[in-house]
Structure 1
Amino acid sequence: MSPIAAPRLHTADPIAPFYGPDYGALVRTDPQIAGVLLDELERQRSSLQLIASENPASPAVLAALGSVLSNKYAEGYPGRRYYGGCAQVDAAERLAVDRAVALFGADHVNVQPHTGAAANLAVFAALLTPGEKVLAMALPHGGHLTHGAQGNFSGTWFETVGYPVSEQTELIDYDRVRDLAREHRPKLIICGATAYARLIDFAAFRAIADEVGAHLLVDAAHFAGLVAGGVIPSPVPYADVVTLTTHKTLRGPRGGAILCRAELASAIDRAVFPFTQGGPLMHAIAAKAVAFAEAAKPEFREYAAQIVANARALTEALEQEGMRAVSGGTDTHLAVLDLRGRDGAGVRTAVGAKVTGREAEMRCERAGIMLNRSCVPYDSAKPMVTSGLRVGTATVTAQRMKEPEMRRIATLIGRAVRDADGVAVPAVEKEVAELVGEFPLYRPR
Structure 2
Amino acid sequence: MFSNIEEIDALVEKHIQYRENCLNLIASENYSSPAVRNHLTSDFGNRYGCYPTINPASREYRGNKYIHEFEMKTQSLVGEVFGAKYVDLRPIGGHIAGVATVLGLLSPGDLVLEISLKDWGHGLVALMREAPHLNRTIRVEFMPFTEDRAIDLEQLTKMIHELKPKMLIFGGSGMLWPEPIAEIKVIAEKEGIILCHDASHVTGLIAGGVFPNPLQQGVDVMFGSTHKSFPGPQGGFIVTNRFEMFERIGNTLGSSLVTSHHLNRLPALAVSMLEIKKFGEDYGAKIVKNSQALGKYMEQDGFKVIGARKGYSQTHLILVDVSEFGSGLQISKQLEEANILCSDDFGQLDKEIRIGTAEVTRMGIQEGDMKFIADCFKRIIVNKENPSGVAQEVNSFTESYRSCKYVL
Check whether TM > 0.5: yes
1:238-272 per-residue CA deviation (whole Å, 9 max, x = no partner) reads 11000021001110000100011232222122122
Q: How many residues align?
A: 395
Distance change >3 Å, CA 143–CA 281, structure 1 → 2: same
- Deviation beyond 4 Å, 4+ runs, structure 1: 150-157
Which structure 2 residue ranges, 5 or more long, are not aligned? none
Q: Which residue of 2 aligns with 1:162?
A: 142
1:40 is matched with: 15
The amino acid of 1:262's aligned partner reads: R
SS at match of 1:160: strand
Residue 66 (structure 1) shift: 1.8
DSSP-derived class of the 1:206 partner:
helix
Give the corresponding residue for 2:332.
361
Measured in 1, the distance between the counterparts of 2:236 and 2:102 equals: 15
Equivalent runs, 1:60-209 vs 2, <5 Å: 60-76=35-51, 78-149=56-127, 152=130, 157-166=137-146, 168-209=147-188
2:276 paired residue number: 295
- Contact 2:362-2:404 at 8 Å conserved across structures: no
Structure 2 CA distance for partners of 1:408 and 1:147, relative to 1, 3 Å: farther
**Aligned mates of 1:70, 1:405 — CA distance in 2:** 39
Aligned AA (1:223): V
CA displacement 1:38-88 (0-9 Å, x = unmatched): 122112211100000000111121112122111111111531110100012
Which residue is equivalent to 2:390? 428
**Paired residue for 1:437?**
399
* Residue of 206, 210, 222 corresponding to 1:227: 206
Residue 400 (structure 1) aligns with: 364
Give 2:24's match in structure 1, choosing from 25, 35, 49: 49
Root-mean-square deviation (CA, aligned residues, Å) is: 1.9
Cα shift at 1:32: 2.7
Deviation at 1:140, TM superposition (A): 0.9
Contact 2:129 2:138 in 1 (8 A): no
- Kept in 2, the 8 Å contact 1:187–1:214? The answer is yes
Instruction: Give the Å deviation of 1:358.
Output: 1.1
Residue 214 of structure 2 aligns to a residue whose secondary structure is coil
* Contact 1:189 1:216 survives alignment (8 Å): yes
Q: Which residue of structure 1 aligns with residue 297 of structure 2?
A: 317
Q: TM-score, normalised by structure 1?
A: 0.84
3-state SS of paired residue (2:127) = coil
User: Displacement, 1:157?
Assistant: 4.3
Shift of 1:178: 1.2
Aligned-residue sequence identity (percent) comes to: 28
Distance 1:439 1:211 in 2: 52
Structure 2 CA distance for partners of 1:303 and 1:179, relative to 1, 3 Å: same
Question: Contact 1:150/1:156 (CA < 8 Å) preserved in 2?
Answer: no
Amino acid at match of 1:362: K
- Partner-residue secondary structure (3-state), 2:320: strand
Q: Report deviation, 1:149.
A: 3.5
Matching residue's letter, 2:261: P
Partners in 2 of 1:170 and 1:250 — Cα distance? 23
Q: Are 1:389 and 2:348 counterparts?
A: no
- Residue 321 of structure 1: CA displacement? 2.1
Alignment counterpart, residue 373 of structure 1, candidates 344, 369, 378: 344
Distance 1:157 1:291 in 2: 38
Which SS does the other structure have where 1:438 is aligned?
coil
Residue 12 (structure 1) aligns with: none
Moved more, 113-122 or 62-71: 62-71
1:130, 1:40 → 2: CA distance? 46
Supply the AA of the counterpart residue of 1:278: T
State the alpha-carbon separation in 1 of the partners of residues 58 and 2 from structure 2: 48
Structure 2 CA distance for aligned equivalents of residues 172 and 300 of structure 1: 27
Gap change, CA 1:156 and 1:70, over 3 Å in 2: farther
**Pairwise CA distance, 1:131:** 2.8
Equivalent position amino acid for 2:72 in 1: R
* Equivalent pair of 1:108/1:259 in contact (CA under 8 Å): yes
| Aligned mates of 1:2, 1:203 — CA distance in 2 | 54
Could you say which structure has the greater relative contact order, defined with CA pairs below 8 angstroms and 6 or more residues apart?
2
Give distance in 2, aligned partners of 1:145 and 1:189.
Answer: 12
* Contact 1:314/1:407, CA 8 A, preserved across alignment: yes
Q: Which amino acid aligns with 1:409?
A: I
- Contact 1:139 1:162 (8 Å CA) reproduced: no
User: Is the CA contact (8 Å cut-off) linking 1:106 and 1:259 kept in structure 2?
Assistant: yes
**In structure 1, what is the Cα distance between the partners aligned to 2:392 and 2:368?**
18
Q: Does 1:256 align with 2:236?
A: yes
Q: Please tell me whether the aligned partners of residues 76 and 279 of structure 1 are also in contact (alpha carbons under 8 angstroms).
A: no
Q: Following the alignment from structure 1 to structure 2, what is the Cα–Cα distance between the partners of residues 206 and 52?
A: 28
Deviation at 1:193, TM superposition (A): 1.0
**Please, which runs of 5 or more residues in structure 1 have no aligned partner?**
4-28, 341-349, 376-381
The letter of the residue matching 1:282 is L
Q: CA deviation at 1:273?
A: 1.2
Q: Distance in 2 between matches of 1:107 and 1:172?
A: 29
More displaced stretch, 197-206 vs 149-158 = 149-158
